[in-house]
């Protein structure tokens, strides 16, 4: 297997399927995988034939966290510089994914531990198999959940659940992860891909400029005061208009003039929109 194969991807019907591909190591994030993942995300980000990106894992695992040998032990042997370099490479692709141009879905098919919470949080939506297993296992081998993982838990879950999850290290099922809001929902593994395709289909119908502005807004306003958020959202809408002046006009026309759809119940037909 070449070093490039640790991440594989294909594009079908405007969905980019990106896979962690180290199944024999349960898709743990090695430095090689982290470097390659950033390249793959960059290759796909502005392709016109990609409307949604799905991140999933080959085999029985979504991602078993950081690679304890290659990410921790081997890099620590190189001193602080080795550790910092490995961290920077991991955080670089998580950040790229957090602010990705296209909407993203984590399709969690199996194990999801520790350092996997970085990319989990980076994806806009997350659908898990009921049978998947989640855990902040760091505490079990003697470190605290770093790499943003504690922040991910407290952002997503109620405080009590986040505390329990962090300091017990007990694994939870995909269904429990959905109940605790670590993912949007869980479905039986046999139905996981169909559900993700259905959800991607919803996103593909939206105006792409608007969806990028809206997903960034959800992440940004979380840490703002109401006043700052109000101001930011005015500017964000105006910036989106400057990229796509026709979008909202067409949306209004199809409702008010053509009576072709109801915004409360569905999306306007973006294929009828004048190109810039």
Query: Where on the chain is the footprint of ligand ACO (CB under 6 A)?
Result: 25-26, 28, 60, 64-69, 111, 113-115, 137-138, 147
Give the H/E segment covering residue 61. strand 61-63
d(Cα 264, Cα 253) in Å, to the nearest integer? 15
162 φ/ψ angles, rounded to the nearest 5 degrees: -60, -40
Q: Which CB atom, from 86 or from 236, has the smaller least distance to ligand ACO?
A: 86
Q: Which DSSP symbol is given to 224?
A: S
Q: Which CB atom, from 151 or from 220, has the smaller least distance to ligand ACO?
A: 151
| Alpha helices per DSSP H over 99-134 | 117-122
Min dist. Cβ of residue 192 to ligand ACO (A): 18
Min dist. Cβ of residue 253 to ligand ACO (A): 50
Min dist. Cβ of residue 148 to ligand ACO (A): 10
Q: Which CB atom, from 34 or from 210, has the smaller least distance to ligand ACO?
A: 34
Min dist. Cβ of residue 132 to ligand ACO (A): 11
Q: Which CB atom, from 22 or from 102, has the smaller least distance to ligand ACO?
A: 22
d(Cα 196, Cα 154) in Å, to the nearest integer? 25
Alpha-carbon distance values, 229 to 172, 179, 232 (Å): 34, 28, 5
């Amino acid at each position: 297997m070449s070093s490039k194969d640790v991440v594989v991807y294909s594009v079908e019907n405007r969905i980019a399927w990106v896979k962690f591909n180290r199944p024999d190591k349960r898709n743990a994030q090695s430095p090689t995988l982290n470097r390659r993942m950033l390249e793959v995300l960059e290759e796909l980000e502005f392709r016109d034939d990609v409307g949604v990106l799905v991140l999933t894992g080959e085999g029985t695992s979504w991602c078993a966290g950081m690679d304890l040998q290659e990410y921790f032990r081997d890099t620590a042997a190189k001193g602080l510089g080795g550790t910092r370099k490995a961290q920077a490479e991991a955080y670089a692709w998580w950040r790229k994914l957090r602010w990705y141009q296209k909407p993203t879905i984590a399709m969690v098919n199996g194990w999801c531990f520790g350092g996997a919470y970085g990319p989990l949080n980076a994806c806009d939506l997350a659908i898990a198999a009921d049978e998947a297993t989640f855990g902040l296992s760091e505490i079990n081998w003697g470190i605290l959940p770093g790499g943003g993982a504690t922040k991910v838990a407290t952002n997503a879950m109620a405080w009590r659940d986040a505390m329990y999850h962090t300091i017990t290290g007990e694994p939870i099922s995909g269904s429990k992860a959905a109940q605790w809001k670590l993912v949007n929902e869980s479905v039986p593994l046999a139905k996981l891909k169909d559900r993700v395709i259905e959800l991607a289909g919803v996103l593909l119908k939206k105006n792409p400029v608007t969806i990028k502005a809206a997903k960034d807004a959800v992440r940004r306003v979380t840490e703002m005061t109401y006043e700052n958020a109000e101001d930011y959202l005015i500017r964000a809408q105006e910036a989106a208009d400057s990229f796509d002046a026709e979008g909202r006009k067409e949306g209004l026309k199809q409702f008010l003039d053509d009576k072709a759809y109801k915004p409360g119940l569905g999306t306007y037909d973006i294929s009828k929109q004048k190109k810039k």
